[in-house]
Amino acid sequence: MTEAEKTVCVTGASGYIASWIVKYLLEEGYTVHGTVRDRRRKTAHLLRLAEESAAAGGHLELFEADLLKPGSFDEAVRGCSVVYHTASPFFIAARRGDPRKVFVEPAVEGTRNVLEACLKPAALESLRRVVVTSSIVAVFGDFDQKDCRTQGAYTEADWNTTSTLRSYPYAYSKVRAEQTAWEVAQKKQPPGRKWDLVTVLPGAVLGPSLSSTTESGTVELMQQLLSGQMSVGTPDIIVPVVDVRDVARAHLRAGADRKNVPSGRYVTVAKTVSFMDLADMLRPEFGGKIALPKRVLPKWLFYVIGPFVGISGSMVRHRIGVPLQVDNRKSIRALQLEYRPVQTTVLEHARQMAADGIVKVK
């Protein structure tokens, strides 16, 4: 590879998924342009990764960029062959404030600003592919958006048509952000200087973090399970799970192998499991140390207690007790992914959370 081909950009480089992408790229000798909001905050682990990979030829340059500031990504993407756009907010629990400003504007306008930077002449000289981190929630919102028992599993051909700004605004933001990415990618580019787009759609991303300050919705999910909040019992909800390291590898293969990985959407999910399945995976090692749930609570109960625990009636109706299937065959075939066992992922995540003091273990 030429120097230009070995130079790539990772937006939101300090994030949970992005940090693993940066790590693998540096270990393979890439020069990584990593964008962060503030070079002085939450970047120590990135600098450590750069030091550790120096012998392999990896080099890290950090650029400050704001998702909502047009033009702030221009310098970072210049001279890169691939741009990995991962920067986006991810919080499961409701936050105060306008959901449009909390979720939608950073995701949609951030995606637009990054991809518009990729259309500028300085970027077009070298850019060959953009890989955007989307989400499985861009594929479906309500689990019963279609009946998986009669209509088959969800695939890359499906789009979430049930989430709105009022109902699950995070999912709505991911739909709008990915749609925006495809809209920008389809704009006319100069002949012979064409980049294409791949979107990676992971399920609930679990597994060890490279930083103890990770702000991710999956940490909240694990906290609920490990803190005793579900000790009385769990809702009957299916979760499509994937290891963070497999998601990072999916990005790298999408970026590096245009020949065998066509432009398109790629669902990355190892397996769909229930909350009780997750608890059972943890039980042999953590059962005597954490109050893990031992039973599944009836659906009707969540209509009663839902308003007090942050579960809406819509979630009860359309997700609890609703079957869910996700087809991951395209990612296995094209991205050559060999997914880690979910139990390995969950145990390693729990061990790290305990070691970091995020959850208390007896």
Q: What is the mean pLDDT of residues 102-106?
A: 86
pLDDT at 1 over 90: no
Quick check: pTM over 0.85? yes
Give, as one character, the DSSP assignment of residue 151.
Answer: H
Residue 96 has a pLDDT of: 61
Q: pLDDT tens digit string along 210-266?
A: 987 655 666 777 888 888 788 889 999 999 999 999 999 999 999 999 899 999 999
Indicate the range of 185-199, 254-268, 320-334 predicted with least confidence.
Answer: 185-199
| DSSP3 helix / strand / coil % (the chain, rounded to 5) | 40, 15, 45
Token reading at 101: 């400003």
The answer to whether residues 86 and 114 touch, using CB atoms and an 8 Å cutoff, is no
Query: How does residue 174 score in pLDDT terms, banded at 50, 70 and 90?
Result: very high
Partners of 197 in the beta sheet? 130
How far is Cα 205 from Cα 17, in angstroms, rounded to an integer? 8
How far is Cα 361 from Cα 291, in angstroms, rounded to an integer? 10
Q: pLDDT tens digit string along 40-76?
A: 888 899 999 999 998 899 999 999 999 889 999 999 9
How far is Cα 181 from Cα 158, in angstroms, rounded to an integer? 16
Token reading at 285: 């090692």
Write down the domain spans for the chain. 7-355
CATH of 7-355, one of 3.40.50.720, 3.10.129.10, 3.40.30.10, 3.40.50.2000: 3.40.50.720
Q: What is the mean pLDDT of the chain?
A: 90
Residue 113 has a pLDDT of: 95
The answer to whether residues 180 and 172 touch, using CB atoms and an 8 Å cutoff, is no
Q: Between 219 and 199, where is the model more confident?
A: 199
Q: Looking up tokens 């094209």, which residue turns up?
A: 334
Q: What is the mean pLDDT of residues 114-134?
A: 94
The answer to whether residues 322 and 179 touch, using CB atoms and an 8 Å cutoff, is no
In the chain, the N- to C-terminal Cα span, in Å, equals 51
Query: How does residue 89 score in pLDDT terms, banded at 50, 70 and 90?
Result: low
Q: What phi and psi values does residue 132 have, to the nearest 5 degrees?
A: -110, 130
